[in-house]
Amino acid sequence: MSAGHIFNDPEHDPGVEVARQRAEAEGAAEPVLLGEADKGRIRVGTAGWTDPTLTAAGVFYPPGKTSAEERLRYYASRFNMVEVDSSYYALPTASVAELWVERTPADFNFNVKAHALMTGHPSETSRLPKALRAALPSEVAAKRRVYPRDLPPEVHDAVWGGFVDAMQPLARAGKLGAVLLQFPPWLGPSDANRDAILEARDRLEGLPCAIELRNRAWFDGDGTDRTLRLLTDQDLPFVMVDEPQGLRNSVPPVIAVTSPRLAILRMHGRRADQWDRRGATVAERFRYLYDRQQLAEWVEPLTSIAGQVRETHVVFNNCYANYGTTNALEMEALLGE
């Protein structure tokens, strides 16, 4: 991190060793499925298990756990769900999803983030599958990044089709919690954008999904009621967030249930100095360790939410080193008290 962006808050960025000590204080018990199977179940996990700051030696994984299989099996011995974020950057494949199924317990869940091109974001052209790159017009293929509007309709359809096909092993195994449709900050409330949300749902061909909105205008004034009514009428789970407040791109921590099937809370950290900074890396933006009081603030709302839905997922996206895994263990303990 550059000297101009040093985070002077040792309580919330204390380093790997302090986070490890806090995690060890929670013990090494197997993951707990809180609540009942038919209603009130709470799953706690993190956004990913392969971030380089997490897989570094001595951070989270025991010595010798260096292969993809060993790491996922170990992660699944500590938590009962995970969010896959790599699928946002590169289309997943069914063969990889089959390995995820094989390497996790029967009651494990994956939430999978939709590919960037499925939610209006740009994608690096080089990370598209070779067949899709070959189908692009030469002037589009030459771009470093492409937006959905740049794609021929048949290529855009192939992105959706490839993603849906890749999810089938998880869906068949009962391990697909939801496809996370995280829309960009520039997608604000309008009739066209409401239609875009519903179109995205329909393109998933029946796969379960959840909606995260990143433009605060959805929640300005009477906007909150209209937004939640749309999701409720369509039985679409709303993704709640904990993130820095008072900034241009801040979304308020609206607590709401819009589907009896699922509620999701994503914990992004409260790193206000990096949230809106252009060029901030993932490690900089999400390098934040919640303190126990901040976690405790969510226990009552989550308990209330869990009483209204079949499953509630709490996902720690403060994905720097062992900060997310430590907070997930702590939250699980707090919810189990």
DSSP string for 184-206? -TT--S-HHHHHHHHHHHHHTTT
List the beta bridge partners of residue 43: 313
CA 20 – CA 7 distance, rounded (Å): 20
Whole-structure pTM value:
0.94
CA 334 – CA 337 distance, rounded (Å): 5
Select from 268, 269, 272, 258 the least CA-distant residue to 312. Answer: 258
Q: Structure tokens of 323?
A: 């900060």
Provide the pLDDT for residue 33. 66
CB neighbours of residue 268 within 10 Å: 20
Provide the pLDDT for residue 36. 67
Q: Angle at the Cα of 93 (from 140 to 90), degrees rounded to 5?
A: 40
Q: In total, how many domains does the chain have?
A: 1
- Whether residue 117 contacts residue 159, with contact meaning beta carbons closer than 8 Å, is answered with yes
Mean pLDDT by 10 residues, the chain (337 residues): 55 95 85 70 96 95 95 96 97 98 97 98 97 96 97 97 98 98 96 98 98 96 95 98 91 97 97 87 90 97 96 96 97 91
DSSP annotation of 70: H
Q: Structure tokens of 310?
A: 């079949």
Provide the pLDDT for residue 2. 36
Which residue has 């995260």 as its token pair?
Answer: 212
Helix 299-306, helix 323-336: angle, nearest 10: 70
Range(s) of the domain holding residue 268: 3-336
Say which CATH number the domain at 206 has: 3.20.20.410
